[in-house]
Amino acid sequence: MVDIHCHILPGIDDGAKDFSDSIMMAREAEKEGIHTIIATPHLNSLYDNRKDLIVTKVIELNQALKDAGVNVTILPGQEPRIYGEILEDFEKDEIQTLNNSQYIFIEFPSNHVPRYTEKLLFDIQVKGLTPIIVHPERNSELIERPELLYNLVEKGALTQVTASSLCGYFGKKIKNFSMQIIEANLTHFIASDAHNVINRSFKMLEAFDFIEEEYGPDYVYLFKENADLLINGKSVMKEIPMPIKKKKKFLIF
């Protein structure tokens, strides 16, 4: 299994604090059947993780895992918070795509979708890149206005839902929205977004067990296969997206 979103690089964001933490996380991943992890440290106002640093840290961590006898391979990636100059920084070779493929993560603020989002995601695609919106199920504006997500996916963006969201670790509301996103063909990947082994672990096995039980093995195949296709820079499988029907609120008198 491939995990395309993980904060396993030591000491550079709010994920693994040191190599010991990173090795512990990799051992946990190995137990879940994960053999390949894309390391996706934050790039935002708190953490300035550019491509050169990420590549160096990935090389160091792969050596540390080899020395520790952990059979997990780390690939380079990045989780940039959406900002207007991302393409300029891509041109400066500061943005790390997912395993040097055409796929690039885009993170929204947790409480809204910036107004320039649609234009920026269009410009990213004009550059030959494919934006992947990470954890849309945890964005409060998308929960209230799911048509915004449909519009972005319909125009070519991909999305990634977090395993823990689907398993209910972020609450019932986020779990329900995660399920609606899957049912409307508005997501293409399930990933861990793991930060540690205590309260933000992988939960990938649990999520795929839930998906199989709820939606059948074809969905499990789709999400696992797409992660494989992504790391090899190939086009992923997509179903036709559908709008999410917002549930009406009934007042009880």
Structural domain that includes position 84: 2-231
- What is the CATH number for 216? 3.20.20.140
β 130-134/158-162 pair status: parallel
User: Does 237 fall in a domain?
Assistant: no
Domains of the chain: total: 1
Contact (CB, 8 A) for 39 and 11: no
User: Does 12 fall in a domain?
Assistant: yes
User: Does 243 fall in a domain?
Assistant: no
What does the pLDDT look like over 141-173, one tens digit per residue? Answer: 999 999 999 999 999 999 999 999 999 999 999
Q: Per the structure block, which two tokens stand in for 43?
A: 């790039």
Query: Which H helix or E strand runs over 88?
Result: helix 86-91
What does the pLDDT look like over 90-130, one tens digit per residue? Answer: 999 999 999 999 999 999 999 999 999 999 999 999 999 99
Give the C-alpha separation, 56 to 76, whole Å: 9
